[in-house]
Structure 1
Amino acid sequence: MKKQWKTKKTIAVWAVVSLMASTTAGCSGGEPKTAEPAAGETKAPLSIKMLAPLYEEVPDMKNQYWTELQKMTNSKLDIQWAPSGDYDTKFDLVLASGDIPEVIVGNSISRPTLATAIKQGAFWDLTPLLGDFKDYPNLKKNADIGVFKLARIDGKVWGIPRMRSEIDLSLKFRKDWADKLGLPLPKTLDEYAAVMKKIIESDPDGNGKKDTLGLIGHGGIVDDATGPFEAAFGGFTPTYDEDKGLIFHTLTPQYADMIEWFSKLYKDGVLAQEFSVMKKTQAEELYNTGRAVSYGRNTWRDWSMEQEIKKTQKNAEVVSLQLQGPKGPNILLGVPINAAFYISKKVPEEKVKQLLKYFETTASTEVMAFAYQGIKDVHYKMVDGQPMLTEQGTKEVNVTSLQPLALAFDKWVKVNNPSAPKAYNDAKKKEVEVYEKIGAKNPFNWLTSATWTSVWPKYDSEFKTMQTKAIVGQISVDEFKAYAEKLRKTPELKKAFQEFAEAEKEFNK
């Protein structure tokens, strides 16, 4: 392995403003309205202790954004922040300790430790409290989209989902470098690999060294981009064993085919040699400083990354690639929720009802608009008919500031960039709107198995090691395929596949 790069702290600016015209209009006239307490509610701000992931610097909860947000929601937020890269570890430790705060943000609705904690009675069953949602009209709108169905375990609602756009991830690519060599944009995975190989061998940044990286990512294989590549190999097409059990997607033959493809990329130098140990901050810095050809992240980042690269490479042009694989395009749709909020069983029932009212308020279109824009003339100004963040807005309105909010649904929030011109955002929406029709979904984002939850952790580390060995050539791909087949025949995993199949049937009802 090459020596890892040193990274400096960076602040990721993330505040997408593709809100519906009615939403924008409702907040463009000045100060946001403050939510009035409903009958029976206390007028004093509701104090909420919460564990949530941190994506930038620890925020100043007394700044203008957080002060106004808490005023709008009649709340006093006491948030324990944990860095996003270490959040799953922190989440598991908190659950294991039993010292769970009033509200905890779950990063994945299918996380095994979460399912275990729920079965052990760590959280409130919200099903009877929410009822038919007649007291929660904003949450009902979200429920009508079907997101509460995705958050169920054993047919019950355990968490309040945080809304998210399904159109999200895309594969970044340096079009200007391809243009420089007279190469057309690739349309297939094989063309993608061939074009990148030519680019990295050509000294595209002109520094006199052939040190440009091809495809980069962070953790696992290429983390955010792994799912879209898996979609191209048909990895999310339901696949069953000889007993009609639903095989977990990473154990399917299609997944092994993807590993074989990655092994070829690695051998050709197209996949970064440090792929298995690279951190998210490293990958971001490498791409933003013009050191790599391709990187998979949220679509809205195309503009931001291009502008960062232009600071040192003025002709940079970043585009999102739609590539055809053996079994489909490299498009993976997200689940329309980004985790959920779980309420500790230690919280008294009366306060649980107050917390539900808080989440009801945060799911309004008004709070949604504020969450992405902040205060007019403080955090944003209207430019060419759309909100554009100010310098203060880019500091205070970001991914971290969204964490305590349930939000409403808007399918463009992961596409539009608040710093980009309206014409750019409109063109980007037109470019990716087809994703809704052609994209795959990972059913294991909502299907659960008690057996898988309890058994897979003892295989997980070894599996990741084996896939890395196969990619870097320490074992053959055939050996990896034989290893995956052996796992598929393990009795306890076959039992898990049966449970996944039953969960699929139940979900499809």
Structure 2
Amino acid sequence: MKKKSNLTISIASLSALVLLGSGCSQGESAPQASNPAAPAVNKSLTLVLDNAGRKYPDGMNENTNPYLDYIRQQSNLNITVITPPPDGYQDKINIMMTSGESYDLIRSTDSAWVSKLVKQKALTPLNELIDQYGPNLKKAYPEEVWKQVTFEDGKIYAIPGVTTKKADELMYVRKDWLAKLGLNPPKTLDEYTEVMRALATKDPDGNGKNDTLGLIIGEKLARTGPIFGAFGVPLGQNNWVERNGQLVHSYILPETKEALRYLAGLYKDKLIDSEWALNKPKNVDEKVAGGKVGLFSAQWHETRGSILTNKKNDPKADWVALDYPVGKDGKSGIAAINLVGSYAVIPATSKNASEVIKMMDVINSRQGHETLKLGLPEHQIWERKDGKLTMNFEEHNKHIYRNTLSEIANPWDDELERERLDALGLEFKMNDNINLINSHVIPNQYNGAPTEILGKYSSQLKKMMEESFTKIIMGTNPIDDFDVFVKEWKKEGGDEMTREVNEWYSKNRK
């Protein structure tokens, strides 16, 4: 069933971290599977994973649940899981790597962090281990995926978690509010602006209060991708476009300045949520679900999230996907996301690297992958009838915590993923959303592995961008401060990154 085609795809204190695994500290043994026929466990592993705020059913936690028991049984390993709080997760695992404690596997979505640790020789190379202990693991990914976790010394330092989606977001609008205001679904950026103004000023919910938002976006420029796309800008941490035969980072394009000018105008006219710079994902979800939002850039799956909650709260709510806004030059789209979305690494201090790979081989086997992705059969989450997959919506949601384990390494299986999404409900149109997104992606012209220079500068330059662009949009700094940002970006490592990326491009361009 696997499809292997070419893919077009406040730092907390250290003392606080000691409390992270309070339910199951490293000195404690994790609960073992209850199967009396299981062989004796021989080795212990400690995994550090991002639980993304998922909740467990009563009586369960990250170390007491049937999916971890399944992995323990299948791998014959005693596994302890530590899940730092999701807010500031990356900062916390930075500290954990310097704490003197030993961890056997850490999952991160930050490629710059991985490349920095490779440079510091803080990670275990995996080539020989995969060859010896990971036959399922080795064939779980196409060669082009392995290339993205193969570093400059020719060695693999991470097990990739891949996404079959080429990007994440598309625009959604409340069609019932448009009808009430006498508006058609917008297509051009000017029409989008008109809709924002009406949503913010004409009381679409009819409660007599000026409490609806023209557009909601999030902190650190979250949910602005389609707006930047209308200017031809694929705004992303490591997104590069070709200009005159050379690669240029999306942060410093002249078109980026124009997109910021547009967003600053929206903010000045009070068409953007005034609290946007403080909006964490949960704040956006709450405002959408609470009926304050009629237009936003939604993630492909939010028809089963905040949009669904809003429809339950207000049965009149009718949400529909929109065309991406088209700018004055006819540009539109969304920035491509990296084919490799996460990295499972083995710290060099681990003495159990071979056991980690054996565990990962279990997870990446056909049976292991399907079990963690769809759910254990005995929980009646899914079944196949006449070759068609069906899922129990309520049970699926109850056991969604299993994704913390399935995400340790997410192999390439587009067919199973699309089958799963349809089984969760055709009414949510998740595959339709993905198809629309995939057909409007602005490609990233750099698809090499994380490098030393990218690892050294990417994170700090991203933070510089977020701070500068936020001040420009809010009017704290003038639009021409963008030119100051570009100079600083180049000085603080951007020029070095550009040289390195273009050296790669000269060797790999098609």
Offset at 1:208? 1.8
The alignment of Structure 1 onto Structure 2 pairs a total of residues equal to: 462
- CA contact 2:300–2:433 (8 Å) conserved in 1: no
C-alpha distance in 2 between matches for 1:414 and 1:193: 34
Offset at 1:418? 7.1
CA deviation profile, 1:130-151 (whole Å, cap 9, x unmatched):
35xx864433334325211122
Q: Counterpart in 2 of 1:56?
A: 53
C-alpha distance in 2 between matches for 1:454 and 1:105: 19
C-alpha distance in 2 between matches for 1:143 and 1:153: 17
1:474 equivalent to 2:471? Answer no
**3-state SS, counterpart of residue 185 of structure 2:** coil
| Amino acid aligned to 2:216 | I
- CA contact 2:240–2:444 (8 Å) conserved in 1: no
Q: Counterpart in 1 of 2:136?
A: 138
- CA contact 1:203–1:209 (8 Å) conserved in 2: yes
**3-state SS, counterpart of residue 495 of structure 1:** helix
Q: Counterpart in 2 of 1:9?
A: none
- CA contact 2:389–2:423 (8 Å) conserved in 1: no
Q: Counterpart in 2 of 1:336?
A: 339
Aligned pairs for 1:245-256 (under 5 A) are 246-256=247-257
C-alpha distance in 2 between matches for 1:83 and 1:414: 30
**3-state SS, counterpart of residue 79 of structure 1:** strand
| Amino acid aligned to 2:443 | K
| Amino acid aligned to 1:126 | L
C-alpha distance in 1 between matches for 2:458 and 2:304: 39
Name the CA shift for 1:215/1:77 in 2 (closer, same or farther; >3 Å).
Answer: farther
C-alpha distance in 1 between matches for 2:394 and 2:80: 26
CA deviation profile, 1:54-84 (whole Å, cap 9, x unmatched):
2124642323343334434444331110222
CA deviation profile, 1:231-271 (whole Å, cap 9, x unmatched):
443224744789x8643321222322221221122122222
**3-state SS, counterpart of residue 311 of structure 1:** helix
Equivalent residue in structure 1 for 2:41, among 41, 44, 49: 44
RMSD (Å) for aligned C-alpha atoms: 3.4
Offset at 1:44? 3.1
Q: Counterpart in 2 of 1:84?
A: 86
| Amino acid aligned to 2:413 | F
Name the CA shift for 1:204/1:332 in 2 (closer, same or farther; >3 Å).
Answer: same
Offset at 1:457? 5.9
**3-state SS, counterpart of residue 358 of structure 1:** helix
Offset at 1:480? 2.4
Q: Counterpart in 2 of 1:101?
A: 103
C-alpha distance in 1 between matches for 2:207 and 2:40: 63
Q: Counterpart in 2 of 1:28?
A: none
Aligned pairs for 1:286-435 (under 5 A) are 286-323=287-324, 324-325=326-327, 326=329, 328-348=331-351, 351-376=352-377, 378-382=379-383, 385-398=388-401, 399-410=403-414, 413=417, 417=421, 420-422=424-426, 424=427, 428-430=430-432, 432-435=434-437
1:490 equivalent to 2:488? Answer no
C-alpha distance in 2 between matches for 1:72 and 1:327: 54
C-alpha distance in 2 between matches for 1:343 and 1:185: 49
Give 5+ residue unaligned stretches, structure 2: 4-34
Give 5+ residue unaligned stretches, structure 1: 1-18, 22-33
C-alpha distance in 2 between matches for 1:412 and 1:447: 27
Name the CA shift for 1:475/1:456 in 2 (closer, same or farther; >3 Å).
Answer: same
Worse-superposed segment, 450-459 or 81-90 = 450-459
C-alpha distance in 2 between matches for 1:280 and 1:507: 37
**3-state SS, counterpart of residue 219 of structure 2:** coil
| Amino acid aligned to 1:156 | K
CA deviation profile, 1:157-187 (whole Å, cap 9, x unmatched):
1100012222443233222211222322112
**3-state SS, counterpart of residue 328 of structure 1:** coil
| Amino acid aligned to 2:231 | F
C-alpha distance in 1 between matches for 2:382 and 2:462: 48
Offset at 1:444? 6.0
- CA contact 1:248–1:444 (8 Å) conserved in 2: no
- CA contact 2:333–2:440 (8 Å) conserved in 1: no
CA deviation profile, 1:349-402 (whole Å, cap 9, x unmatched):
xx3223222212212332232223212362514498433235343122244343
Offset at 1:469? 1.8
Superposition TM-score, scaled by structure 2 size:
0.79
Give aligned-pair identity as a percent: 22
Worse-superposed segment, 458-467 or 203-212 = 458-467
